[in-house]
């Protein structure tokens, strides 16, 4: 089962050389062991801009997640959890 939070759940992300290294959620720390994918979305700049960097990550705790950084604000969010 996959869980999706359309607006995301706020998380604290620690970067290592510009790449996600670990994040805190629920209230555990999850170390990133593999970056499966990375992509950028920049749409609707003429209305309500969505400007985000998305990352699909595998963690040391066995999670496969999609997180994103809102590039307008710098905040990080967990959007999808694959079970």
What local confidence, expressed as pLDDT, does residue 1 receive?
Answer: 78
Q: In terms of pTM, does the model score above 0.85?
A: yes
What local confidence, expressed as pLDDT, does residue 70 receive?
Answer: 96
Residue 13 in this model has a pLDDT that exceeds 90: yes
Q: At CB < 8 A and 24+ separation, what contacts does 33-38 make? A: 33/58, 33/59, 33/60, 34/58, 36/64
3-state helix, strand, coil in the chain (%, to 5): 0, 75, 25
| Tokens, residue 52 | 């985000």
pLDDT-derived band at 44, boundaries 50, 70, 90: confident
CA–CA dist 68, 10 (Å, integer): 10
What local confidence, expressed as pLDDT, does residue 45 receive?
Answer: 73
What local confidence, expressed as pLDDT, does residue 47 receive?
Answer: 79
Question: If you average pLDDT over residues 67-80, what whole number do you get?
Answer: 97
């Amino acid at each position: 089962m996959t869980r999706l939070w359309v607006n995301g759940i706020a998380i604290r992300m620690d970067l290592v050389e510009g790449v996600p290294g670990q994040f805190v959620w629920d209230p555990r720390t999850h170390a990133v062991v593999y970056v499966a994918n990375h992509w950028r979305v920049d749409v609707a700049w003429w209305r309500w801009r969505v400007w985000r960097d998305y990352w699909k990550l595998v963690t040391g705790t066995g999670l496969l997640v999609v997180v994103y950084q809102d590039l307008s604000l710098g905040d990080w969010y967990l959007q999808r959890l694959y079970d």
